[in-house]
Amino acid sequence: MGVPIISPAKLNLFLAVTGRRADGFHDLVSVAAPLEFGDELEGEAGGRRGESGGTFSLACDEITLPLDGSNLVLKAAEAFAAATGWREPVRFKLTKRIPMGAGLGGGSSNAIAALRALNRLSGDKLDAAGLERLAAGLGSDCALFLRDAPVVMRGRGERVELLPPTAASRLRGRSVLLFKPSFGISTPWAYGRMVARGTDYLPAADAEARLAAWLDGKAPAEELLFNNMEPAAFEKYVALPVLLARLRREFGVAVAMSGSGSTSYALLRDPSTGSGQAGPSEVVTQMKHRIRELWGPEIFVREARLA
């Protein structure tokens, strides 16, 4: 019998890239939150090994997704096997809803879902600390998906701590409108462009001070939003800043790009604050219409909530 695991998307609500490290990675300070929206990964143990002799296999409903060893699901599975010695054949089936190249952490989330599925199938071979170690080795933003709550990330993203409860309460349950253009943005390209521009980094002390001011105060989520990866992306992909400016002007919403893009989002009004404007559902409908009018009718647009 299969083990289904929800694999949520995430949003970077605050992302300050502070500089390039000697190992080629970048240091950052970020607040990220999982969404009540994402993929689903099912792991099923048993059966025969694949024709190539491999222990793990992957199927997916997204035909453009690589299903070989470059996929983070299979990389996570091999890392789990190496760490635990547990090598029962497992078939993974991934139902993909998070767009690729979107800045929503889909691949990293899938990797953590694979670790969780394998841990359950193996009878919990790893404790929480063991899962943390594997997650940190798989990718810079993998560890955050072990928390299931808003987090602060530091280092290259592997140092993760839960957001303080009072701060998390200002995020949890807020609705966002996600929208992704027809193109994706390569994360290596985005960081490479930051290096070439050389003007977009925010010093670590400034990033920490900016974050601390929000954490220690009572400001709403709207005042947290920041992403210094936007200038490099906006320089090449001008459709992004044009649409974000239009949404700010017409609807009065806070908007930003998530991660390295290309997905952006609008933080929808908090119903608890009240408003004399059109009702939330009408406003969202109008926003969706404007986004599709400018970017095309077939693009990805979805409303979701911060978990």
What is the per-residue pLDDT across 179-216, written as a single tens digit (0 to 9) for each? Answer: 999 999 999 999 999 999 999 999 999 999 999 999 99
107, 134, 162 - which closes a domain:
162
Q: Is 141 a catalytic residue?
A: yes
CB atoms within 10 A of CB 4: 14
Which one of the listed residues 27, 39, 75, 141 is annotated catalytic?
A: 141
- Same domain, residue pair 9 and 131: yes
Q: How confident is the model at residue 139 (pLDDT cuts 50, 70, 90)?
A: confident
What is the per-residue pLDDT across 18-74, written as a single tens digit (0 to 9) for each? Answer: 999 999 899 999 999 999 999 999 999 976 654 444 689 999 999 999 999 999 999
Query: How many separate domains does the chain show?
Result: 2
- Same domain, residue pair 34 and 102: yes
- Same domain, residue pair 179 and 156: no
CATH number for 293: 3.30.70.890
162, 185, 217 - which closes a domain:
162
Domain of 233 in residue numbering reads as: 167-305
- Same domain, residue pair 182 and 152: no
Q: What pLDDT does residue 158 have?
A: 87
- Same domain, residue pair 263 and 242: yes
What is the per-residue pLDDT across 103-137, written as a single tens digit (0 to 9) for each? Answer: 899 999 999 999 999 999 999 999 999 999 999 99
What is the per-residue pLDDT across 251-302, written as a single tens digit (0 to 9) for each? Answer: 999 999 999 999 999 999 765 554 434 446 889 999 999 999 999 999 999 9
Q: What pLDDT does residue 54 have?
A: 62
Q: Is 75 a catalytic residue?
A: no
CATH number for 150: 3.30.230.10
**pTM (predicted TM-score):** 0.90
